[in-house]
Structure 1
Amino acid sequence: MFKNLFKQHGAKNVVTLFHKPSNSASTRVLTVLKQANAQSAAHSTEDQASSHQTQEKLERLEFDLDVTETPPTGDQLKNILEYLGGSSAASKVIRGAQNESDALRLLKADGESFVRPLVVDWNQGKAVTGDNESEILSLLRSIPKEIKKA
C-alpha cells in the first residue's frame, strides 16, 4: 500500500522513524537520521566543481524525515512486516508476537508492545529495526537517485 504512495517523479524519499524519546537507542537513531539528512542537504548545494563522487554518494542520503511517536496503523504494520521478510519478523516489531495476525492483535490491544526504534523507507519497501547505524545508513544510501531529485 505505502510502497508506491510516494513514487512520483521528482518526489523525495520519505523515511519514517517510529520513535520513543525515552529510549536511548531511539534517540541515537534520530540523531543519525538528522545528521545524515543535514549533511546531504549541505552537500547537495555545493558548487558543481566539487568532487562529483563524494557529492553523489552524499546526495543519495537525501530524504524527507517523518518522526512519529505513535505506533503504526494496522496497514502500516502489515507493510513493515512484509519489508522485514513476512510474518516471521513479527516478534522483531511487536513484543510477544508469533505471526502477523498475532502482531495486529497485540498492537491493537497495547501500542506499547510495538518495538522502537524502527526506520521505514516506504518508497523502497525496506525497514530496519533497532539502532544499527550501518544498516540504517545502508538503507539511506540505497535510495534511488531519480526519486529524490526535487
Structure 2
Amino acid sequence: MWKRIFGEHGAKNVVTLFHKPSSAASTRVLTVLKQAHAQAVAHSTEDQASSHQAQSKLERMEFELDVTDAPPTSDQLKNILEYLGGPSAVSKVIKGAQNESDAMKKLEADGEAFERPVVVDWNQGKAVVGDNESEILSLLRSIPKETDKA
C-alpha cells in the first residue's frame, strides 16, 4: 500500500471510507466517492494531454480512495474525533459513548458501535460523518492538486 500512496511525485491524499455495505447511506457515500474519484482520474489524464486551460473545481479532487468495512483502530478513532472537533463528536461516531475513553472501550468491545459511514481525509485532517453529499464534496474539493503541493 505504501508504494501506491507514496509515488514518484510524493504522497497522494488518502481518503478513507469506513463503510457498512448493508447501510443505504454508506452505499450512497461509496457511490459519491467512486464518481468523484473517477472524474479526478479522467481530468488528470486530460490535463496531461492538453494545454493548461482553466481547470474546474472537480479536477482538484485528486485522491487515493480507501474503502474498509473494518472499524477504525484506536489511533484512527482518536484522529477522527480530533478532526470532527474533539469530545463533542464522540456520540456522533460511537453509539452511546459519553467521552473519548468510553468511546475507546465501546469500540474495543464491539466494532459495530462505530457509526458508519465516515469519510476521512487523513492528509488534511478532516472528516465527515453520515451521507451529507455536499459536505463530502466540499471535503474533496479542498484537497490540493498535485501541482499545488510541488
TM superposition score category, shorter chain reference: 0.7 to 0.9
Contact 1:18 1:116 in 2 (8 A): yes
What is the alpha-carbon distance in structure 1 between the residues aligned to residue 147 and residue 130 of structure 2?
Answer: 26
Residue segments in structure 2 that go unaligned for 5+ positions in a row: none
Per-residue CA deviation, residues 92-132 of structure 1 (Å, 9 max, x unaligned), is: 00000111111001101111110000000000000000000
Per-residue CA deviation, residues 35-87 of structure 1 (Å, 9 max, x unaligned), is: 00001111111142474232xx2221110000000000001000000000001
1:41-120 map, 5 Å: 41-46=41-46, 47-49=49-51, 51-54=53-56, 57-120=57-120
Contact 1:13 1:148 in 2 (8 A): no
Change (3 A) 1:30 1:148: farther
Contact 2:62 2:144 in 1 (8 A): no
Change (3 A) 1:16 1:147: farther
TM-score (norm 2): 0.87
3-state secondary structure, aligned to 1:45:
helix
Root mean square deviation of aligned Cα: 2.3
Q: Which has the higher strand share?
A: 2
Is 1:128 the counterpart of 2:136? The answer is no
TM-score (norm 1): 0.87
Is 1:40 the counterpart of 2:67? The answer is no
Contact 2:16 2:66 in 1 (8 A): yes
Residue segments in structure 1 that go unaligned for 5+ positions in a row: none
The code of the aligned residue for 1:86 comes to G
What is the alpha-carbon distance in structure 1 between the residues aligned to residue 148 and residue 116 of structure 2?
Answer: 26
Is 1:10 the counterpart of 2:6? The answer is no
Runs of 4+ in 1 over 6 A off after TM superposition: 147-150
Percent identity, please.
78
